[in-house]
Structure 1
């Protein structure tokens, strides 16, 4: 499902002494099935932007078109929009409240007025999609799980609504390295296997480098960069000027190239660096024989 944002502006507390422009004339198009990362430092406008995409916030001006429909038009039911656009807030495990995992994930589908058979089907599918075994976990309390597992249950609760677009606000925040990797892996699987349009909001360059196909960089309420990861991470100086950085591996590669290692410059993940360095060493060994 596609998203088209046209000249979107949002001003908090307009016409008061506390007036602040959070979004400034933003225009973006996201195609059906894309995996887009939205990055920027705190206060850049990321969270404000995503809250417009399912009608939680109303813009000061501009248009938001989801799947060809202007969601701000009179007569459009935001409840219908929210069935299509699932939003997972930061630390979503704090919103878990039911006594069992099954009941928690079923809460959203029940509010859609679905029959019990369809609800059960969606719960099982959602748990499978986030890597949680239904039979093993359905009767457990969500509060007995690890942080990463709680996060997956919370994501499953949104996935069970079967949105066409999934937006995740800092889904790995506060998790240990294994928990981060598990969540990113499941999100990537959702995108690959179910062709969801996914928007991932993150501060972590390492995270977005691993999973995204496209990166949009925000600063001071505007979009300053938009492109593939290898294009974005070539702009290290510009990223640093706005309080961001490239993945750590990119700095390593730049230093290796400065010291004479003939490896590709557009490397931004550990796996890419590993392959490039091994290839370089292999070629050097063959040349010396």
Structure 2
């Protein structure tokens, strides 16, 4: 399922002294099946944009198309769009409320007019897809779990609705390193095994480099860059001018190259960097 924005502009409090243009004539397409990262400095419009993708916000002007259909057309039900495009907000565990993990994950599918067997099947599948053992966790209270586990249960609640697009707004915010690693590994697994189009809003350039097929860069309400991670992060000066950065390993490799080591300067992955450094040292480790 593809999502397309055509000349989308959005203004908060239009016609008042507090009017502010959050999105400014954005046109873009999210390709089907891709893992897309959306990055930008705080206030660049990221969260506003993703809320347009499932109809939570309507553009002041322009259109959002899901599989070629204008989601704000008169004959289109928003509930149908939200079954296809799932959105996980920051700190989704604050929305957990049922007494057991199983019941919480079942809440969304329970509103889709499904049979009890289908709901049960979806709940089991979703809990296992986010890396939790169904039998071990089904009867536990979600409030007794760790932060990372709560976050995974909240994501499972959206996954159980089997959307074709999964949007996540800073899914690792506030987690400790272990919880953060758990979430990221499960997002990668979800994308690979479930095949859904995934859109990730993140401030971590390392996470973006590891996960994304395509990176969209927002600045002052516009999408100003769109390319594969290696191309985006090769433009460190441009990113820094917008309050962003490349992954730390990219800066390391550039410094090594500046000091004469025979290594590429466009590396964005730690493993790739280790291999390049080992190769350079294998040549004698000498500076040119």
Q: C-alpha separation between the residues in 2 aligned to 1:222 and 1:48?
A: 11
Counterpart position of 1:166: 166
- The separation in 1 between residues aligned to 2:82 and 2:271, in whole angstroms, is 37
Q: In the alignment, which residue of structure 2 is the partner of 1:201?
A: 201
Runs (4+) off by over 6 Å: none
1:224 corresponds in structure 2 to 224
| 2:72 is the counterpart of 1:108 | no
Q: Quote the Cα distance in structure 2 between the aligned partners of 1:93 and 1:155.
A: 9
> Are 1:56 and 2:64 an aligned pair?
no
1:69-115 per-position Cα deviation (integer Å, ceiling 9, x unaligned): 11111110000000000000000000000000000000000011211
Measured in 2, the distance between the counterparts of 1:252 and 1:167 equals 32
SS of residue matched to 2:38: strand
CA distance in 1, matches of 2:29, 2:283: 43
1:247 maps to: 247
* CA apart distance, 1:280: 1.8
Deviations 1:165-220 (A, max 9, x none): 00000001011112111111110111111111000001111111111111101010
Q: Which residue of 2 aligns with 1:42?
A: 42
Partner of 1:279: 279
Q: TM-score, normalised by structure 1?
A: 0.97
Q: CA deviation at 1:282?
A: 2.2
Query: Secondary structure, in 3 states, of the residue corresponding to 1:10?
Result: strand
Aligned length: 286
Instruction: Structure 2: state its 5+ residue gaps.
Output: none
How much is the aligned-residue C-alpha RMSD, in angstroms? 1.1
Query: What is the CA–CA distance in structure 1 between the aligned matches of 2:284 and 2:66, rounded to whole Å?
Result: 52
Separation in 1, partners of 2:94, 2:272: 36
Please report the TM-score for the alignment, with normalisation by the length of structure 2: 0.97
- Pairing of 1:31-180 with structure 2 (within 5 A): 31-180=31-180
Stretch of structure 1 that moved more, 243-252 or 85-94: 243-252
Q: How far is the alpha carbon of 1:264 from its aligned partner?
A: 1.5
Partner of 1:4: 4
Task: Name the SS of the counterpart of 2:284 in structure 1.
Answer: helix
Shift in Å at residue 268 of structure 1? 1.1
